[in-house]
Structure 1
Amino acid sequence: MLIINQSITDPYFNIASEEFLLKNFSEDIFILYSNTPSIIVGKHQNTMAEINHNFVSQKGVPVIRRLSGGGTVYHDLGNVNYSFIINGSEGNLVDFKKHTKPIIDVLTSLGVDAHIGGKNDIRVGDKKISGNAEHIYKNRVLHHGTLLFNSNLDELNESIKVNKNTYTDKAVKSIRSHVANINEYLNDDISIGKFKELLIDHVKMLFPNAVDYQLNQNDITSINELISKKFVTWNWNYGYSPSYTLNRQIHFNKYTLDIIVNVDKGLINQVSIKGNHLEPKSVKELEQLLQGCIHETQEISNRLKNIDISQFIPEILNEDFIKGLF
């Protein structure tokens, strides 16, 4: 087994490195890494339905689709991400209990009463401290999970706070849970660095032939190419989402707008805007202006930059109208 204690905190790099190591190495691998603030959505999810788009855009938080299924998770430097890449035989690759046991054993040794939950997460009581997912590639499985050690839980909750009735689609939905940080339950105060060290020591005990591995320049070059081709692209992170319909009602001054936006492969293909005191013919022109635009704040802003929305909808500012499209 190779053990990689990754010092790079770029979320694009670390998410891409998992795919690179899964598909290009033959050894079993254990990886630890932390990312700067970012939101990681499951492969089969509708990205827009899983994030607080206006908050995320304002904060400049990267949103990245990962290789595995499952729900959306928040990463920051107070979170430890762990990955097992393990060889196996067909039919015996997916095993959440097996792959979470080493983590639970370390937590237990630190006084944390951790157990695996019904949705393959790790919990203390009814609080979630770790989300987990798996992906199979040929005879290898990638099992990865979060470990909320001392994350900013306010930012976590705000980043993924959405109105579940806003979007209609057939995508995989995240199951929201009450979360907690591991350091709340420790017998003794330890640093996140010490926690990582204990995880690695335990894995080395389980795999006596394990050796440390550091990504070389060829590895890094290949990972950066994968980032450019896939993980940084809008097509992967947003356009890969299943078709969806957005239903929003926005209120301003004396007006109420009911907005329906149909999106396919990330592109707006139909818009309906209805409201009191609106001229249907005028609104129709605005609806047509939005068709074919990428459903993304900056793209819509660019499309409407020379348009005064108040000529179609009295008394509304462009920025308020655009917020209503998310």
Structure 2
Amino acid sequence: MKYLKDPTVEQAFPEYLQTTAKFSDALVYFYHPQTPIVICGVHQNVFAEVNMAYLQAHGIDLVRRGSGGGAVYVDPGNLTYVFIDTEPTVQHPHFRKYAQPVVKALQSLGVNAESDSRNDLTVDGRKFSGMSASKIGHRVSYGGTLMIDVDIEAASSVLKPSRAKLRAKGVQSVHSRVTNLREHFDDAHRTVSIDQVQQTILTQVFQTTDLAQVPTYRLTEKDWQAIVSLAHTKYGSKTWIFGAGNQHQYYRDGYFNGIGTVGIGFSIQDNHVVDSKIYGDFLQPNSNLHAITERLDGTEFNLSALTEAFARADLTTSIGPIPSKRLAEIMLDRLHDEQF
């Protein structure tokens, strides 16, 4: 498909399906990238998460999706799965609900697959898929990447998770905590193709062995033109991909179990915080980070004032149940500096 040669088109897909009235049913679709791509989460600082020199030297595309979670490297050895559904009252992502058919499908291929307490799918303690979620109105999207034959060396070189996250995971690098599924398929399925993995997942989702009976919608040329327009005007813009207002004096972050990495970029003027911005790979679908930085900007740069500012912001709804004082301590501690 000619349109999918543009990596920004895939990032526009969930938003189009979530906001277009005719797509009101529960949907599932797959994406198989044609070239290497780094996809950052909606709240991440790309300069802190990505080795830009490696990315540019190896001709890897950089895009940003509309959902939370962390940066991922995908290439032709990856299979991406996305569920679109209606969840009017969702406050926290229901990852396990949508991970279940993927896990069961992989188990049928001999993989000892599990879903963890947050958003990762693992085998023998090593990650092969990370999921993300977004919410627009009452429509949600849940997506994840399956590492089947991905170039792990390239992934390890181009991604640079924060030191706080690696310490929390007890690992030294991306390479040491991820794995390709290929080595975990049983002997009968060792040479299974990516298309066959996709078909196996579909049989689990729809509980049928006859995929010809699965209701299928084929996008029209009008659909494609709308998706391409959204891709180019929003997801392909430099402001969307690289972010705006990220020229900070300081960037400090910390890792919170069950929530993820939270980073704060900020400058100091006359001992007061200015131009603050919240970053991270947290997964809340209803984040209002601007409301937090509004409280933070103008605050005196000391523990008491920062703690009070965070306490007055709704951290739980926007990020997760993190202690206000702990976030203030991270801002004040030079040991949490990240260099990029």
TM over 0.5, shorter chain: yes
2:108 corresponds in structure 1 to: 109
CA distance in 2, matches of 1:54, 1:163: 17
2:27 corresponds in structure 1 to: 29
1:192 corresponds in structure 2 to: 194
CA distance in 2, matches of 1:142, 1:241: 28
Once the two structures are superposed, what CA deviation does each residue of 1:146-188 show, in whole Å capped at 9, x if it has no partner? 11011111111111036749xxxxxxxxx95711011111012
Shift in CA distance, 197/91, structure 1 to aligned 2, threshold 3 Å: closer
- Larger CA Rg, structure 1 vs 2: 1
Shift in CA distance, 235/103, structure 1 to aligned 2, threshold 3 Å: same
- Partner SS, residue 80 of structure 2: strand
For 2:216, give the aligned amino acid.
Answer: D
1:203 maps to which of 202, 205, 217: 205
CA distance in 2, matches of 1:214, 1:192: 21
1:19 corresponds in structure 2 to: 15
2:143 corresponds in structure 1 to: 144
For 1:198, give the aligned amino acid.
Answer: T
Q: 1:243, 1:265 within 8 Å by CA — same for their partners in 2?
A: no
Residues 1:212 and 2:210 are matched in the alignment = no
Q: 1:134, 1:144 within 8 Å by CA — same for their partners in 2?
A: yes
TM-score scaled by structure 2?
0.64
Q: 1:150, 1:183 within 8 Å by CA — same for their partners in 2?
A: yes
Shift in CA distance, 144/62, structure 1 to aligned 2, threshold 3 Å: same
CA distance in 2, matches of 1:224, 1:156: 27
For 1:29, give the aligned amino acid.
Answer: L
CA distance in 2, matches of 1:157, 1:221: 35
How far apart are residue 11 of structure 1 and its match? Answer: 2.1
CA distance in 2, matches of 1:179, 1:124: 9
1:222 corresponds in structure 2 to: 226
Shift in CA distance, 100/162, structure 1 to aligned 2, threshold 3 Å: closer
Once the two structures are superposed, what CA deviation does each residue of 1:99-123 show, in whole Å capped at 9, x if it has no partner? 1001001011111111112331000
- Partner SS, residue 71 of structure 1: coil
Shift in CA distance, 239/193, structure 1 to aligned 2, threshold 3 Å: same
Aligned length in residues: 242
- Partner SS, residue 4 of structure 2: coil
Unpaired segments of 5 or more residues in structure 2? 165-172, 252-265, 268-273, 278-338
- Partner SS, residue 131 of structure 1: strand
Deviating above 6 A after TM superposition, structure 1's stretches of 4 or more consecutive aligned residues are 206-209, 261-266
Shift in CA distance, 192/59, structure 1 to aligned 2, threshold 3 Å: same
CA distance in 1, matches of 2:242, 2:42: 10
TM-score scaled by structure 1?
0.67
For 2:230, give the aligned amino acid.
Answer: L
- Partner SS, residue 107 of structure 1: helix
Aligned residues: CA RMSD: 3.1
- Partner SS, residue 132 of structure 1: strand
For 1:27, give the aligned amino acid.
Answer: D
Once the two structures are superposed, what CA deviation does each residue of 1:37-67 show, in whole Å capped at 9, x if it has no partner? 1111111110110100100011221111111
CA distance in 2, matches of 1:124, 1:91: 28
Q: 2:49, 2:162 within 8 Å by CA — same for their partners in 1?
A: no
- Partner SS, residue 80 of structure 1: strand
Q: 1:88, 1:139 within 8 Å by CA — same for their partners in 2?
A: yes
2:310 corresponds in structure 1 to: none
CA distance in 2, matches of 1:7, 1:149: 24
For 1:229, give the aligned amino acid.
Answer: T
CA distance in 2, matches of 1:162, 1:118: 20
> Which has more helix, going by share of residues?
2
- Partner SS, residue 134 of structure 2: strand
Shift in CA distance, 206/240, structure 1 to aligned 2, threshold 3 Å: farther
